[in-house]
Chains A and B, each alone.
Chain A
Amino acid sequence: MGIEVNNLNAWYGDLHAIKDINLNIPKNQVTALIGPSGCGKSTFLRCLNRMHEVIEGARVKGEILVDGEDIYGSNVDPVTIRYRIGMVFQKPNPFPTMSIFDNVAAGLKLNGMRNKKKIREIVEQSLEAAGLWDEVSDRLDKNAMGLSGGQQQRLCIARTLAVNPEIVLMDEPTSALDPISTHKIEELVHRLKENYTIVIVTHNMQQAARVSDNTAFFLNGEVIEYNTTKHIFSNPSDQRTEDYITGRFG
């Protein structure tokens, strides 16, 4: 399931955060969005599953085709879009009043699944896929806040996978984590691309180089350069991209 972005613009009130972006995100690959703070990469990501408009005063214009269908079409319900396009956030945000099990099952229940056996099955699969099953299988009924930060983030990934999205968006998923947890998440991203299309925002250039197949470099709300990760990091065509990835600014 590829994503085709045409002439996308986004605003926060009067602030024009995303300017005329055109981008093709290929299926079953990891695409990294990099760039300095405030460059619009997170905003862009949030446009991809219609989370941007949740903020008061936020607006989007343009076209995003997923499977050929415009997710900003007039008869499209954003709720179904978010169900199909999952999102993992910067800070792990499990539901603090729920158990580990209920956290993963939350999305299933939201979408009306009542079959306990089926829910149990999917929860187990999702935790397995998020690489957390072995660590939590004996305490599924315990509160999710008892997990470490890295485990919480993998729990959030499991929660996202449980609703079986086609695309998974990740907004700096490791920026609040220690190096070991970061490593685990990166391995996970690598494994997940077999079944999902992944778009990941990262501040960490090594991370982009390690996990992604394609990289887009954002600056001031525009895409300066978009290419295979290999190309961007070895032979960038734009001077600003080179300056950024070699650490001259940002």
Chain B
Amino acid sequence: MNIRFGDRLFKIVAYIFGALIFILFLLMIAKLYQGSSATINQYGLSFIFNSEWSPYNDEFGAWPFIIGTVISSLLALLIAAPVSIGIAIYLVEIAPRWIRTPVSFLVELLAAIPSIVYGLWGIFVLAPFVRNHIAPIFTETLGTKIPLFAGPSYGVGLLTAGIVLAIMITPTIASISREVISTVPNSQREAAYALGATKWEMISTSVLTYARSGILGAMIIGLGRAIGETMAVTMVIGNSPEIPKSIFDPAYTMASVIANEFTEATSNLYVSALIEIGLLLFFVTIFVNVIARLLVWSVSRGTQEVK
């Protein structure tokens, strides 16, 4: 009797904890929605696609921030993904044991550096470097034909933000990919070797195809981190609420505008606009995660049935 009571009690408590996630989630959406009612009433859906943001004229649109967030994050993923996968492959497949452990530890340590430190480095080291060395390479070659790489570089801007973000998400993607790759069964590696595969062929035939859904998942987690990152990006992206035309243009992200302008938001509509951007950021994150899930599922359909 006593045991059964304990069991039932435990079950109820566990249910409550489980439900807590849902409740928190719904409460957050409800609160954000409530807080942004002023802009929702005034602009409706056009708030999302309006690219005018000028608080002095009481004009609010979220499009520059959405674009800034999505592009800077994708840029970061584009830079970070190959590097991270390379790190993971090196650590699992190539590095001798005495290098593997300390380097894996270092990679994870990188993830623990506070973002403000990355931001400082970005402003004082990376931004001048991008302005003086990286940007000229592009503007003088590709820039003459493709506007995406043209225009003056102020140092701060989309590319700088993308690089800082890339460095920040590399440890995340690398360490998850490393774990995924180390779960690939040895029998898979041997199967390729026994067919006369070289080391690289073995890695591409067995390891990467087997681990691809997990690596994709790691990339998405990295992308999620890039989308939500606030501090470092705010310091290096230039904070200009315009749609960027080139990767050297200053831009603005959703998280940055909230962080920067919350204290200045004096009017009701201004506050409401920022909160609605928060709500949209929430949805963008959910959207990215859903897409990620679907991708991982579609890729892993075959792998699922192993064993």
**A: which residues have CB within 8 A of B?**
49, 51, 54, 56, 79-80, 82-84, 86-87, 89, 91, 93-98, 106-107, 110-111, 143, 145-146, 156, 159-160, 163
Contact = CB atoms under 8 A, between A and B. Distances in A.
A163 B191 CA distance: 13
Nearest to A108: B195
Contacts of B97: 56
Contacts, number: 82
Given A56-B97, A80-B196, A110-B205, A96 B190 contact: no
Contacts of A56: 96-97
Nearest to A169: B194
B19 to A, nearest CB: 37
Nearest to B306: A96
Interface stretch (B116-124, B126-134, B206-214): B206-214
Interface of B: 96-97, 185, 187-198, 201, 205-206, 209-210, 212, 301-303, 305-306
Contacts of A80: 196
B303 A97 contact: yes
Nearest to A145: B305
Contact of B193 (A82, A94, A163): A82
Contacts of A143: 301-302, 305
Contact of B196 (A54, A79, A89, A146): A79
A49 B185 CA distance: 20
B194 A95 contact: no
Contact of A106 (B96, B187, B190, B205): B205
A89 B303 contact: no
A159 B205 CA distance: 14
B194 A82 contact: yes
Given A110-B205, A145-B302, A93 B190 contact: yes
A11 B275 CA distance: 66
A49 B193 CA distance: 10
B190 A95 contact: no
Given A106-B205, A145-B306, A146-B305, A93 B197 contact: no
B176 to A, nearest CB: 19
Given A106-B192, A106-B195, A106-B205, 18 more contacts: A79-B196, A82-B195, A86-B194, A87-B194, A91-B187, A93-B191, A94-B191, A95-B205, A95-B209, A96-B305, A97-B209, A97-B210, A98-B209, A110-B192, A110-B196, A145-B302, A145-B306, A156-B191
A110 B194 CA distance: 11
Contacts of A146: 305
A148 to B, nearest CB: 12
A95 B196 contact: no
Nearest to A107: B195
Nearest to A94: B191
A160 B187 CA distance: 14
Contacts of B193: 51, 54, 82
B195 A110 contact: yes
Contacts of A160: 194-195
26 contacts: A54-B189, A54-B193, A56-B96, A79-B197, A79-B198, A82-B195, A82-B196, A84-B196, A86-B195, A89-B190, A89-B194, A91-B187, A93-B187, A95-B205, A96-B210, A96-B303, A97-B212, A97-B303, A98-B209, A110-B195, A110-B201, A143-B301, A145-B306, A146-B305, A156-B191, A160-B195
Given A143-B305, A146-B305, A111 B188 contact: no
Nearest to A109: B205
A44 to B, nearest CB: 16
A80 B188 CA distance: 19
B196 A107 contact: yes
Contacts of B201: 110
Contacts of A95: 188, 191, 205-206, 209-210
B266 to A, nearest CB: 57
A84 B194 CA distance: 9
Contacts of B187: 89, 91, 93
Contacts of B191: 89, 93-95, 156, 159
A95 B184 CA distance: 11
Contacts of A93: 185, 187-188, 190-191
Contact of B302 (A86, A87, A89, A96): A96
B195 A97 contact: no
Nearest to B96: A56
A83 B196 contact: yes
B55 to A, nearest CB: 52
B230 to A, nearest CB: 38
B305 A111 contact: no
